[in-house]
Amino acid sequence: MTGWQQLLQRRQDLHWVRRIKAGDQQAFRSLVERYQARIYALVRAMVGSHALSDDITQDTFIKVYRNLSSFDESYPFFPWLRRIAVNTALTALQVRATQNRVALDDDLVEEGSLDRDIERNELILQMQKEIARLPEEQRTVFVLRTQQEMSYEEIAAALNLSLGTVMSRLSRARSRLKESLHDYI
């Protein structure tokens, strides 16, 4: 996305935010339609489970709606939305961990078996499994960096971490993935 497109999108988001604050439900639907797929993809990469990702995505937009009055309009909307999604996903993962449930998503296996290129699919499937096995802190940083293409500084700000901690967690995640995927690469 070019700088001009980002500026245009930011202005449209601000317009919708102001309309939502004034009670316009259609403006909220427009924001959800614009960002729902991106938020779902981020959350899905963090938690792995389709059902849980759907729930977290929905919870994210509910929180956005309820807390829109606290949004500082001098900043872009999407990073604020993304931070809410990340925090909601992290909370859900903590709840799931305390309940000692491990959610495995069967459709990842099904997706891999449908593709014609079996070797490529095996690698993708194994990579998804290994990413899901990373400790939560490492997985979150890895997903934000590689799939959301956030800078180290953006990740540090979104997760309220030091830059060194972000770099360290990312390095450990990469090392772990490299070791666990050694036979596939």
- 85/42 Cα distance (integer angstroms): 8
Residue type, 176: R
Domain extent at residue 164: 106-185
Say if residue 59's pLDDT is above 90.
yes
pLDDT tens digits for range 85-132:
988 988 887 777 655 333 344 444 444 444 444 565 566 667 777 888
pLDDT of 111 reads: 46
Query: Against a cut of 0.85, is the pTM above it?
Result: no
Which token pair is 119? Answer: 């070797």
34-58 pLDDT, tens digit per residue, is 999 999 998 998 888 888 899 999 9
Give the number of other Cβ atoms within 10 Å of residue 88's Cβ: 23
Q: Same domain for 64 and 120? A: no
| 30, pLDDT greater than 90 | yes
The reported pLDDT for the residue numbered 181 is: 77
Same domain (yes/no): 182, 142: yes
Residue partners of 127: CB distance under 8 A and separation at least 6? 177, 181, 184
86 and 118 housed in the same domain: no
What CATH number has the domain bearing residue 169?
1.10.10.10
